[in-house]
Amino acid sequence: YKLDQAICEPKPVQRRIPIWIGGGGDQLTARYVARYADAWNFIASPELGKAKLAALQRHCTIENRDYDAIEKTLMFLDMHLTDDPNEATRFLHRRLEERSRSVIADRPLEDLRRTHLIGSPSNMSELIEEHVNNGFKATMFFVAIQPRAAPSPTDRKKGTMI
């Protein structure tokens, strides 16, 4: 479509809309990020994320682009809070079954532990800290919401927060 003399009110707050690119390719995608994007978002373990950011730095050098001008963000596929390591493993197995035809279906369980926020708060903060140390500034994630049983009278008396 083509519009002549279109009116845009109120005026945008920025001069142009920021360009975000999602995807983890370290050749074509990283090259397009270096060339065009204001931000890059993808899914990766800390180890893989570090390698992908190194690829972006190489492409930024080739494109004569300031690497630090690109916002680097990370996507976590799920967030599931539990102090029980067995529950964390069961959760990942359920996710694998649900996504049997997706990109995660053939990945090892240990790799999935590094691309999902699963486990205790300290497990999650350690994983996020690794990514922050690699240069990521923000995260996005999906939250699996599952109904829980109502707290028992004993839980209420103990003041357990659910």
d(CA 5, CA 25): 40
pLDDT averaged per 10 residues, the chain (length 162): 85 84 93 97 93 97 97 88 90 79 68 86 92 92 59 48 38
CB 41 within 8 A of CB 74: yes
Cα torsion 32, 34, 40, 42: sign = positive
pLDDT of residue 161: 40
